[in-house]
Amino acid sequence: MICDNITAAAGRLRFAGRDAGELARQYGTPLYLMDEGRLRQNCRVYRESMSAHFSRALPLYASKALSCRRVYEIVAEEGLGADVVSAGEIAMTKSAGFPMEKVFFHGSAKTDEEIAYAMDSGVGVFILDNPEELRAVERLAGERGLRQRVLLRLTPGIDPHTFEAVATGKVDSKFGQSIETGQAMAFTLSALDAPHIDLRGFHAHVGSQVFDSAVFYDTAGIMLRFMADVRAQTGYEAEMLNLGGGYGVRYVESDPHVDIAAEIASVAARVRSLCGELGLSEPMVLMEPGRSIVADAGMTLYTVQAVKTIPGYRRYVSIDGGMTDNPRYALYRSAYTVLAAEHMGEESDGVYTVAGRCCESGDMVQEEVALPPLKRGDILAVCTTGAYNHSMASCYNAVPRPPIVMIDGERDYVAVRRETAEDLLRREM
Ligand code: LLP
């Protein structure tokens, strides 16, 4: 199996030690399941290995991967900070009682209202993207008589060899300021000049679903050299270096396994040796994992509604969810492992296209999946859906969004309830 929290016994799928078919019938489908133990374990790998290998470090959970109150509570209990990107995510951290000084506010188009709300909520650090935002933060911090702690987002000019939609660290990127073009240095000088800006350091995030270790290693090198240049030009020595997120996870058997602890150890060794070489004191290092914290803690269950064979073409299996709860195949052609939850180990009779319920031909969850013979009422499981599924869900076709049910050993509980038609109507005037 692609993850050790997925097993099968007597033809039945088990997730986090629990019978998937029974959970589907108990809660209804489509259903997001989250394995709380796995989520906590993923947090601990980052926290423990970062504190073992860096002299000062803090992992931040990139909460765009899955933002809901219960996940923020768990992440806070595990001692991580949070990366947020909107007033909505800030409101959720507050509602979860998250320590606000450990909240880092990202985004390349923060509005004045969001900036003010973040300041008034005590958000610890802003990660500034561009000079106009810097001026807005300076003005709003001035009005409040505070000096806002900030990091500056830079693009180190690295191609992370992942899919285009998530390659963010190249010079041509909508995020941050490029080191190569000189804009990063100009941005730094403006931040150092602004009286209500308390510059703490720099940030880079080069991409997501990255399997190439050299990407992080090289990013650290480019950022540290930039920090040495800044010191040479201005005397300012940054105390924080945020290396972003991006470690890849296994969606299918052919995906490699990333040993996060080993990766962190090698990045730390690189940071230490370069700091020595450049005569910099070792900065506090931050990382922003999203996917690798929540992806393999998630699974989605669906009920088969119909099987349709088009002779000479293909066979579709239609499910009661799809692009509304998981738009990733429609958007990126992302690979997923699909299993027949109550027919595990049964021989496949050919491949299926798993089609979603929306009125759109592109609404598919996966194509060419080998599955046993299926019929209406069977339960399908899509694995590794903890990241960028619930958080990217929509209610296209007025399809309400599924609940999130947490599994904690023998206990299961609803963290987010199923959306209803009344919820959808609530905004109508
Ligand atoms: N930090 C920043 C500034 C980011 O933009 C991201 C992801 C992360 C950290 C976390 O990266 P992760 O560890 O999750 O790879 N919707 C796409 C992924 C978009 C990623 C956006 N930024 C998907 O479904 O694959």
pLDDT at residue 166, as a whole number: 65
Query: So what's the pLDDT on residue 169?
Result: 67
Distance 207 CA to ligand 1 centre (A): 7
Report which ligand 1 atom has the smallest distance to the Cα of 207. 15
Q: Are strands 103-105 and 81-84 parallel, antiparallel or unpaired?
A: parallel
Q: Is 122 left (phi over 0), alpha (psi -120 to 50) or beta?
A: left
Pocket of ligand 1 (CB under 6 A): 62, 64-65, 83, 106, 166, 168, 205, 208-209, 244-246, 288-292, 328, 388, 392
Cα separation, 62 vs 81, whole angstroms: 9
The Cα–Cα gap between 429 and 423 comes to 13
Using the mean position of ligand 1's atoms as its centre, give its distance from the Cα of residue 206 in Å.
Answer: 9
Among 208, 260, 292, name the best residue to mutate to test ligand 1's pocket (greatest count of ligand atoms within 8 A of Cβ).
208
**3-state SS assignment for residue 319:** strand
Q: Whose CA is nearest to atom 16 of ligand 1?
A: 388
| Residue 172: predicted pLDDT | 79
Instruction: Output the CA 290–ligand 1 centroid distance in Å.
Output: 6
346 CA to centre of ligand 1 in angstroms: 36
- Residue 373 burial by Cβ neighbours in a 10 Å radius (0-12, 13-18, 19+): middle
DSSP 32-67: EEEEHHHHHHHHHHHHHHHHHHSSSEEEEEEGGGS-
Supply the residues annotated as catalytic.
359
Task: List per-block mean pLDDT (blocks of 10 residues) for the chain, which spans 429 residues.
Answer: 96 98 98 98 98 97 98 98 98 98 97 98 98 98 98 89 67 88 97 98 95 90 97 98 97 96 96 97 98 98 98 96 98 98 96 97 97 98 98 97 98 98 96
Say if CB 13 and CB 343 are below 8 A apart.
no
Nearest-atom number in ligand 1 for the CA of 127 is 3
* R_g over Cα of the chain: 23
Checking 305-308 for CB contacts under 8 A at 24+ apart, the result is 305/357, 305/376, 306/376, 307/352, 307/374, 307/375, 307/376
pLDDT of residue 173: 81
Nearest CA to ligand 1 atom 9: 245
Tokens of residue 305, six digits = 């509604």
Closest protein CA for atom 23 of ligand 1:
388
Distance from C-alpha of 171 to C-alpha of 187, rounded to nearest angstrom: 15
